Chains A and B, each alone.
Chain A
Amino acid sequence: MPDSPAPSARKLMQTFMRSSQIILPLAAILLLWNYVAPILLLLVLALLVNSILSPLADWLETRLWGNRLLAVLAVYLGMILIIVGLVSMAGPILVRQVTAMTSAFQGQNLTEMIENLKQSILGFVPPDMVGVAEQRFEAMMEKLPGFLANLADDLAAIVFKVAGLVGKLVLVLVFTFILMLESRNFKVQFLRAVPNTYFELTLNLLDKINAQVSGYLRGQAAAAATVGVLSTIGLFIISLAMNVTIPYFVIVGMLAGFANLIPFIGPFVGIVFAWIVYLMTPQAAGISAVVLIVLAAMFLLVQMIDNFFVSPKIMSASVGMHPLVVIVVIMIGNALMGPLGMLFAVPAFGVIKVTVEEVRWGLKAYRIL
């Protein structure tokens, strides 16, 4: 094979020039990490939202005469309409329920609710065990007001944090808009900077990671939305059909949806939360074990609908996690970002796991490992 020194030097120069297009920006990011990190986080979020919404824009692009801008605008318009619709429909109820719940968990109301809960639970205990059960319950309840007050503060803090995040959310939406419009161009430009040796590997990895991550995120989002909406409807139907009061049913339903992001534990969060809300609320017909069973059955039915009909159709990536890993990941999420971290730790770990698995496959397939 002919190989003169001049072309070798040129090749070296070309590789250096190409690599420097990636290495120099990376070095700049590392140097200015403290300033760049928050923006980078928003960019990563935008990338994730882009991977969820892009397939919809692709689908619309075909139907809108191949015009990408129109397709992306249509996706945004649809998104705005859905958000406005949801906020105008569920917003007032949600705000009312959050306000009522945070005030209910504090002061005199809380004492009454704990008394209700105590009476409800003692109603299920055999008469000869009532004394012991009452002592145990009171010992437990001494700690509860502080815990619930903290929980209410945490919820209120989350609401305020969410309100404070609106500005950042707008930035994420702007980044996402640009990414949806220009992602192909960005991909071509990025790959241009990759040295020839790693070109096919990088392209293959980008494609596989994008497919897996977007499939995983879309699946998670769709499953959470399904569980959230079905649980809310289920709670509403139960409260009407069985003539029971289940306040905050929209919050309980939404919480069940979000909790669905956490495998193993998530499905039970809805049940437990609905039970607590039911038991703490004075019921005209008294507390009934049947209602508790029906509530649990409703959440299980919602889980079955999700597991048999929704998730199998939308989940492209199988992200199996050991229960121990899930618990550790949730604890790390809590340590890093508190309650929000607990909620999103597992999906974030899922994205990282899928990415690492694909990179490992690529390095093996191209005999680099």
Chain B
Amino acid sequence: MRSAIWENIFRRQDEKLSETALALSHVPVFNGLSRKELREVENIIHQREYQIGETIFQQGDPGLGMYIIIHGQVQIVNNQDPDNLIVYSELNDGDFFGDMALVDDADRSATAMAHAETRLIAFFRPELKDILSRFPSLGNKILMNLAKVIAQRLRKTNDLLIQAQQQDSGEPS
């Protein structure tokens, strides 16, 4: 258990972080980064503001990187058929999306749209490469975190696949 002194020290350190750096620190991809490292990331990320209904990226665009919602709401949709909008998920403050595009440049698999006035942080592949070349240890931390996120998703997908197979073969799940 932390002592009161340590709590104070940690709180003071937290207070020195900007809103953006704090938002970054709560995203799994930036877990375990020191304050200095968070500031380094903060210096090269992009902050964007979107109005309701504005497209953040379009399905089929080249994937470039991830977005973190500071505040607002984002819908991940399939809008290939304008008359039949399929909403995959709705994301809120602190959520992130598009992180797979940090690893490869495959096309975006869905469209992201602002569902409210939204403020986002954009962290893209060129910036990740820049960090990797200038601060390899920081870059490796981010890559390891990214690998963990992807591994967790893969494990969940595997579980869902096993469940589906079991349901198909009539076994109890």
Interface residue ranges, A against B (CB under 8 Å):
1-4, 7-8, 10-11, 14, 55, 58-59, 61-62, 66, 184-185, 188, 191-192, 196-197, 199-200, 203-204, 206-207, 365-367
B162 contacts the other chain (CB 8 A):
no
Pair B126/A203 contact, Cβ less than 8 Å: yes
Q: Which residue of A lies closest to B138 (CB)?
A: A66
A197 and B51 CA atoms in complex are apart in Å by: 12
Q: Within 8 Å CB of A185, what residues of B? A: 43
Q: Is the CB of A207 within 8 A of B113?
A: no
Q: How far does the alpha carbon of A116 sit from the alpha carbon of B142 in the complex, in Å?
A: 70
CA A281 to CA B141, docked complex, whole Å: 65
Give the Cβ gap from A58 to chain B, nearest Cβ, in Å. Answer: 5
Once A184-B43, A188-B46, A203-B124 are accepted as A-B contacts, the answer to whether A367 and B60 lie under 8 Å apart by CB is yes
Q: Which residue of chain B is the closest to A201 with respect to CB atoms?
A: B61
Residue B16 at the chain A interface, CB threshold 8 Å = no
B64 contacts A203, CB within 8 Å?
Answer: yes
Task: Knowing A7-B117, A366-B61, say if A196 contacts B56 (CB, 8 Å).
Answer: yes
Give complex CA distance A8, B139 in Å: 40
A interface SS class? helix
Q: Is the CB of B53 within 8 A of A3?
A: yes
Residues of A with C-beta under 8 A to B126: 203, 206-207
- Contact among B48, B85, B115 with A199 in the assembled complex (CB-CB below 8 Å): B48
Expressed in whole angstroms, the Cα–Cα distance for A286 and B134 within the complex equals 59
**Other-chain residue from B52, B62, B64 in contact with A4 (beta carbon distance below 8 A):** B52
Besides the contacts A203-B126, A207-B125, what 14 more A-B pairs have beta carbons closer than 8 Å? A1-B53, A7-B52, A7-B117, A58-B130, A58-B133, A66-B134, A188-B43, A188-B44, A192-B46, A197-B55, A200-B64, A204-B64, A365-B62, A366-B58
Give bound CA distance, A188 to B43, whole Å. 9
Contact with A along B27-71 (1 / 0, CB 8 A): 000000000000010011011111111111110111010000000
Question: What residues of chain B have their CB less than 8 Å away from a CB belonging to chain A?
Answer: 40, 43-44, 46-58, 60-62, 64, 85, 113, 115, 117, 122, 124-126, 130, 133-136
- Chain B min CB distance to A367 (Å): 7
Would A11 and B134 count as touching, CB distance under 8 A?
no
In the complex, what residues of B have CB within 8 A of residue A58's CB? 130, 133-134
Known: A366-B61, A367-B60. A196 touches B50 (CB 8 A): yes
Q: Which of B47, B51, B55, B122 contacts A7 (CB 8 A)?
A: B51
C-alpha gap A91/B80 in the complex (Å): 67
Q: Is the CB of A2 within 8 A of B53?
A: yes
Chain A: minimal CB distance from B101 (Å): 10
Which residue in B44, B49, B57, B135 is a CB contact (below 8 Å) of A200? B57
Please give, as numbers and ranges, the residues of chain A lying within 8 Å of B49 by CB-CB distance.
Answer: 14
> Hey, which chain A residues are within 8 Å of B55, CB to CB?
196-197
Q: Give, as a whole number of angstroms, the nearest-CB distance from B20 to chain A.
A: 12
CB distance from B121 to the nearest CB of A (A): 12
22 contacts between A and B (CB under 8 A): A1-B53, A1-B85, A7-B52, A7-B53, A10-B51, A55-B133, A184-B43, A184-B130, A188-B43, A188-B46, A196-B56, A197-B55, A200-B57, A200-B61, A200-B64, A200-B124, A203-B64, A203-B124, A203-B126, A207-B126, A365-B62, A367-B58
